[in-house]
Amino acid sequence: MSLPYQLLVFDWDGTLMDSESRIVTCMQAAARDAGVEVPTAAAARDIIGLGMAEAVEQLFGRPSADLAEAIIDHYRRHWLSDSLPPAPLFDGARDLLARLDAAGYLLAVATGKSRRGLDHVLAETRLAGHFVTTRCADEAFSKPHPQMLLDILERTGMTADQTLMIGDTEYDMAMAANAGAHSVGVSHGVHAPDRLLRSGARACFAHLNELSCWLDQAGVSPLEKESR
């Protein structure tokens, strides 16, 4: 059976890591520390997947550069502190990455996290060895701009039609479409299945583990399907 794609690019928050609650808590705490109106949980949840600058602009209505920097600094301080329990990986995420790596896929990460934030969780989870490259929102334009994904393609030597993006938000799906790549969604993160499908996802899974079966079926040739 041939691989349907050569490169699998994962979002991090809401896709591999169940970090929604921690992100919302840190964003609300950052707002309190900066003396601005605290966003609702729903509003804070909806910016997950964006880069920090874009998230702050969406939540707080184009604050001054100094205020935006203060909010981001407070957020990162809370995220990196030990006052909150670490966000867990979704069940099966670790085993899934190991299986896909062993099967011969190239794995990468494109995330709205900062480089410091991603390196922190990669070290914490000991997953860095599975990924051939990673790209963060403070190194490129934020999703849904395609730059992060295009940078990954350049680094790996892959083409867009060899690439599948896996994420939990419409920003992930739109980034893939803008880069000319395919995408699939997982609905255990931030955005609902209909929102992911409207944004271009080829499929949407209730659980990340369903990705393996979908890839296996996508990699079966017509002749193999007829013989089954």
**What fold, for 20-80?**
DNA polymerase; domain 1 (1.10.150)
What is the 8-class DSSP label of residue 128? G
Q: Which of 13, 151, 168, 172 is catalytic?
A: 13
Per-residue model confidence (pLDDT) at position 51:
85
Per-residue model confidence (pLDDT) at position 225:
41
The answer to whether residue 13 is catalytic is yes
Q: Hey, what are 118's tokens?
A: 């991603």
Q: How far is CA 147 from the centre of its chain?
A: 14
The answer to whether residue 11 is catalytic is yes
Q: Give the mean pLDDT per block of 10 residues along the chain (228 residues).
A: 90 93 92 95 88 90 92 90 85 96 97 91 95 95 95 97 96 97 94 94 94 85 40
Task: Tell me the pTM.
Answer: 0.86
Domain ranges of the chain: 7-18+89-227, 20-80
Share of the chain above pLDDT 90, in %: 77
pLDDT tens for each residue of 53-107: 899 999 998 899 999 999 999 998 998 887 888 889 999 999 999 999 999 999 9
Residue 126: count other Cβ atoms within 10 Å of its Cβ: 9
Q: Phi-psi category of 81—alpha, beta or left, where left has phi over 0 and alpha has psi -120 to 50?
A: beta
Q: Hey, what are 177's tokens?
A: 């479409």
Average pLDDT, the chain: 91
Q: Three-state SS for 153?
A: helix
Q: Phi-psi category of 162—alpha, beta or left, where left has phi over 0 and alpha has psi -120 to 50?
A: alpha
CATH class of segment(s) 7-18+89-227:
alpha beta
